[in-house]
Amino acid sequence: MCKHHGIGLWRSSLFLLFLLVLSESVVRARVRADEGVWESVGARCGISSHSSANRFIQTELWAAWNVAPSQDLGRSWSLRFQFDSSAGWLSGRGADSFVGAVGPVLEIGRERLPVSLRGGISPTLLSRDSFGNKDFGILFQLTSHLGVEIHVLPHVDIGYRFQHMSNAGLCLHNPGLNLHMFSLSYAF
């Protein structure tokens, strides 16, 4: 519950109910999709741009799977709707926490171009919300991200994404955290 604002609990509960309904719809869509289930698996590591004494580091394992067939946008461009899940560790200001997220991702690519753009937003759960003097307000956060993946070998991708995590105003205290994340993945 939000330590700084009593209304945070009911907002969080309504939002979680919305996410449950959304995830059930995504699972139904996945059952109807024609493409393979797994898109890629990999590892990500990131760092905040704070000074070394106030820096945050996040490391995680992740997996993405296709939810619907690729959509042809014309002129060899395509759009893919995927679902991404991750579990890992967030460390900063003398404290450590589990961090887990799951959410939708849109990927735009072009045939014969070894680069794709990816962006999405994921509900995120922390096992602690205070890291020294940095208080995220509540354990429930939202992580939005935008990045690029480069296909370096037939099944190997490297990537970069900028991500922002905050409680999205579900609590009055909402400092947020920006990270530069780098990834290595195996694409099926």
Identity of residue 70 = S
Cα–Cα nearest to 86, from 187, 185, 188, 152: 185
Instruction: Give this prediction's pTM.
Output: 0.81
With b for 16 or more beta-carbon neighbours within 10 A and e for fewer, the 8-34 pattern comes to: beebbeeeeeeeeeeeeebeeebeeee
Cα–Cα nearest to 100, from 136, 130, 82, 124: 124
Write down the pLDDT at residue 37: 76
| Per-chain mean pLDDT for the chain | 85
Residue 34 has pLDDT above 60, yes or no: no
Cα–Cα nearest to 22, from 143, 141, 104, 118: 104
pLDDT band at 30 (very low <50, low <70, confident <90, very high): very low
Domain boundaries, the chain: 8-187
The string of pLDDT tens digits covering residues 81-91 is 999 999 999 99
Write down the pLDDT at residue 138: 93
How many angstroms separate the CA atoms of 90 and 70, rounded?
33
Cβ neighbours around 154 below 10 Å, total: 6
Write down the pLDDT at residue 20: 53
How many angstroms separate the CA atoms of 167 and 186, rounded?
31
Higher pLDDT, 147 or 6: 147
Write down the pLDDT at residue 4: 46
HSE-up of residue 144 (Cα within 13 Å, Cβ side): 4
Residue 68 has pLDDT above 50, yes or no: yes
The string of pLDDT tens digits covering residues 129-149 is 999 989 999 999 999 999 999
Tokens of 36: 């393979």
Q: What is the CA radius of gyration of the chain?
A: 17
What is the average per-residue pLDDT within 103-107? 96
Higher pLDDT, 4 or 96: 96
How many angstroms separate the CA atoms of 55 and 35, rounded?
40
How many angstroms separate the CA atoms of 136 and 174, rounded?
6
Write down the pLDDT at residue 55: 93
The string of pLDDT tens digits covering residues 168-186 is 888 888 889 999 999 999 9
Residues 6+ apart with CB under 8 A from 138: 1, 2, 3, 8, 12, 129, 167, 170, 171
In the CATH scheme, what architecture does the domain 8-187 have?
Answer: Beta Barrel (2.40)
Write down the pLDDT at residue 24: 52
